[in-house]
Structure 1
Amino acid sequence: MFTLRLASGKEARILGGHPWIYRSEIARVESEGEPGAIAEVRDSRGRFLGQAMVNLKSQIAGRLLSRSEEPIDATFFERRISEAVAHCGRSVKGPDACRLVFGEADHLPGLIVDRYSDLLVIQILTAGMERVRDTILAALRSAIQPRAIYERNDASPRKLEGLELRKGFAWGRGETGLWIQEGDLSFFVEVAEGQKTGFFLDQRENRQVVKRLAAGREVLDCFCYSGGFSLSAAAGGAAAVTGIDLSAEAIAWAEQSAERNGQSSRCTFMIGNAFDALRAFDREGRRFGMLILDPPAFTKGKEALAGALRGYKEINLRAMKLLAPGGILVSCSCSYHVDSPTFLGMLRGSGADAHREFHLRELRTQASDHPILLAAKETQYLKCAILEALN
């Protein structure tokens, strides 16, 4: 094991509960190891702070695994996974889906594990977790007993760690397309080709809010993906639902799910650009009782924040103009770099430019199986504003 010595005064954030060590905070490295190896972390005076997975090629050079002097072995990872599964009402059996491990928030930095019925989907995002991949797979098989484990290690953060992109079965075999149950709705999920690990599990609780508010409304769902919000609105009694997405595959999955749930007559799905569709509906004079915006992240770095905010403002301004009086706007952002105050400021600006007045009924976040580590604001990324038009 090697040692990281932090520069003077750089231990405060770690002592406050944050799990990351930036390369610029390291004064020296004693007996450097391979990328992803475990190192002791000590402050400038030599006091023990914890053990971290270290990759000096990355800007985030260290990710704390433990704040104790303990063996980091197979037993350690088995315990951590069992602890994660026991949190937040997560379940390991049944036809539903949930997140079982959420990286830093579950003290397993760089590891994502989602369960879709009896299939696990994992993402390993750091060199440290890549080094213990076989140990993680064994621990998951023991704790969850899935039929198979699929890797979606094709996410861009792996490049920052010097890791190759890949996807495929890590253990077991079988179909990658399957049905999951969310409340009284069934959704088709394709884990090999879908967004994230196949479905937006982080929006589960927000879909329930849409279901509760949709009754009798004509609903427009932009960036609808495979129809999660659309079908929730239909199941809540919406008069009609239109879903729009650029992906023909996603639209096909949405149509499958609508048919499965007996909602095909109420739901219409269109392949198209949401920005263009909003402009077209405005020209036609269309008005909606509910409008849902759940776009992809417009920025993954601070350098593109200004452009991202322009994009968010444009779609929200156009959506606000299309709302009928008393209409509901469900506006989301999954960009971590657009924090809640910035997001609300953008919505205020959009409302002013649209000459519309709104109540903020709720400002929601990710589902409870995506826990938020209080000391690490990076673990809270999803914003979901529920606005009601007053004029």
Structure 2
Amino acid sequence: MTKVILKRKIAMRIANGHPWIFANEIEKTEGAVDAGGIADVFFHDGKFAGRGYVNPQSQIMVRLLTRRKEEIDEQFFFRRINEAWKYRQKIGYTENCRLIFGEADEMPALIIDKFNDYFVIQTMALGIDVWKPAIVKALQKIFSPKGIYERNDVPVRELEGLQQQKGFLSEPFDTNIIINENGLQFHVDIENGQKTGYFLDQRDNRRQIQHIVKGADVLGAFTYTGTFEIHAAHYGAKSVHGLDISENAVAQATKNAQLNKLDHICKFETINAFDALKNWGKEGRQYDVVMLDPPAFTKSRETIQKAITGYKEINLRGMKLLRDGGFLVTSSCTNLVQPELFLQVIDMAARDARKKIKQVTFRAQASDHPIVWGMENTNYLKFLIVEVSNK
């Protein structure tokens, strides 16, 4: 077994349970360091810190799988996936859910989404990719699924010396499926949709708009496949206009509206949402509800300031499009912009727009994406509804 000994001065997060160990926190290694292999990690005083997989090519050299001296084998992954499934069942997430949320489920760099009887897997580090056959075997044993697909077409894999790839990990199946959510139906394109094909993390938040959209004229920007907009129509909106720069997303959104027989209320348009928000504000267009669900504006700490500027800009524009007493529904999905900072950005936007805001609700992602205290990367989604009025 490879041994990794940590430096005397290390970040407290390791002792407090965070699984990431960076190369510059390691004093020395003993034994062969095989990329993707398992290593035992010890604090400087010789105390056992945990066991995890190692990759000398990666900045995060070790990711801990356990704090105990337990065997890492097929049975280990079966137990972990089974425990995660039992947890989801206890909290009421069964039909569609994020079954494994990486570090939050003590399986760093592993994502598994469950869509009915179909599963989508992402293994974003070499050490977990090695165990893909064991993970597939565990899913087959626990669920007897209709299909398993890998969406490893993510650039982060290249930092681990892995190729981007996607394809079937089971017998081939039709990757265009339909799921149920909050009494509605949605097409999910497992093979070509963003991420794993569908954003499960906003499911509970989509229900939060049901009272504010009744009889309202609603604008949705960065609509993707129209889930928020279709919920708005379902909950009684008078009109819903969804915007996205992707023609494919708009086609999917239109298809989803037709599937739910709400295409007479929902209209989707292929347009740059940034430009539309700016120009329509100048034209004096007004809505009762404006919903903003943009993609992550940053994936690195170096560009946080640029992201803050972007969030402030779109929220300011959104507020200016609201009638007095209307509602802004806004989200941010980057963990680099923590909740407190996000609220500060909204506050700055309101001041610059000369608007007064009243918080209706402020939430994180759905509970099948657990937030573990001390692991900032697990607390990534911010969802806010505010009433916006003129000063």
Q: CA deviation at 1:340?
A: 1.1
> Is the 8 Å Cα contact of residues 332 and 382 (structure 2) preserved in structure 1?
yes
Which residue in 2 is equivalent to 1:372? 371
Task: Give 1:45-60 correspondences, 5 Å limit.
Answer: 45-60=45-60
Residue in 1 aligned with 2:4?
Answer: 4
- The residue type equivalent to 2:4 in the other structure is L
Letter of the 1:67 counterpart:
R
> 1:88 corresponds to which residue?
88
Cα gap change, 1:278 to 1:53, in 2 (>3 Å):
same
Is it true that 1:270 corresponds to 2:269 in the alignment? yes
In the alignment, is the contact (CA less than 8 A) between 1:2 and 1:30 conserved in 2?
yes
RMSD: 1.5
Per the TM alignment, residue 271 of structure 1 is displaced from its structure 2 partner at its CA by 0.6
Question: Hey, which bits of structure 1, 4+ residues long, moved more than 3 A?
Answer: 88-94
Alpha-carbon spacing, 1:297–1:93, altered in 2? closer, same or farther (3 Å): closer
Cα drift, residue 249 of structure 1:
1.2
TM-score (norm 1): 0.97
The yes-or-no answer on 1:39 pairing with 2:45 is: no
Distance 1:53 1:257 in 2: 42
Identity of aligned pairs, percent?
44
Contact 1:85 1:91 in 2 (8 A): no
**Post-superposition offset of 1:92:** 11
Distance in 1, matches of 2:26 and 2:354, equals: 51
Q: Distance in 2 between matches of 1:157 and 1:327?
A: 40
Residue in structure 2 matched with residue 189 of structure 1 by the alignment: 188
Cα distance between partner residues in 1 of 2:88 and 2:291 = 27
- The letter for the 1-side match of 2:14 is I
Q: Which residue is equivalent to 2:244?
A: 245
Number of positions where the alignment pairs a residue of Structure 1 with one of Structure 2: 390
Partner in structure 1 of residue 73 of structure 2: 73
Answer with 208-217 or 69-78: which moved more: 208-217
Q: Which amino acid aligns with 2:206?
A: R
Q: Which amino acid aligns with 1:79?
A: R
Q: How far apart are 1:71 and its partner, in Å?
A: 0.8
SS at match of 1:171: coil
Residues 80-131 of structure 1 deviation map (CA, whole Å, 9 limit, x = unaligned): 000011113479998x421111011001111100011211000000111111
Q: Deviations over 1:353-376 (max 9, x none)?
A: 100000122211100100011121
The TM-score, its normalising length taken from structure 2, stands at 0.97
SS at the partner of 1:226? coil
Measured after TM superposition, the shift of residue 378 of structure 1 is 1.2
Q: Distance in 1 between matches of 2:379 and 2:121?
A: 20
Residues 1:341 and 2:340 are matched in the alignment = yes
CA contact (8 A) 2:245 2:271 kept: yes
The one-letter amino acid of 1:37's match is: G
Give secondary structure in 2 for the equivalent of 1:29.
Answer: strand
Q: Which residue identity does 1:223 align to in structure 2?
A: F
Distance 1:92 1:329 in 2: 29
Q: Which residue of 1 aligns with 2:128?
A: 129
Inter-partner Cα distance in structure 2 for 1:154 and 1:180:
23
The structural deviation recorded for 1:283 is 2.5
Kindly indicate whether the alpha-carbon contact (under 8 Å) linking 2:243 and 2:270 is maintained by their aligned counterparts in 1: yes
- Contact 2:182/2:207 (8 A) holds in 1: no
Partner SS state of residue 370, structure 1: coil
Q: CA deviation at 1:9?
A: 3.1
Where does the alignment leave 5 or more consecutive residues of structure 1 unmatched?
Answer: none
> How far did residue 31 of structure 1 move?
1.1
Alignment of 1:219-230 (within 5 A): 219-230=218-229
CA separation in 2, counterparts of 1:25 and 1:332? 35
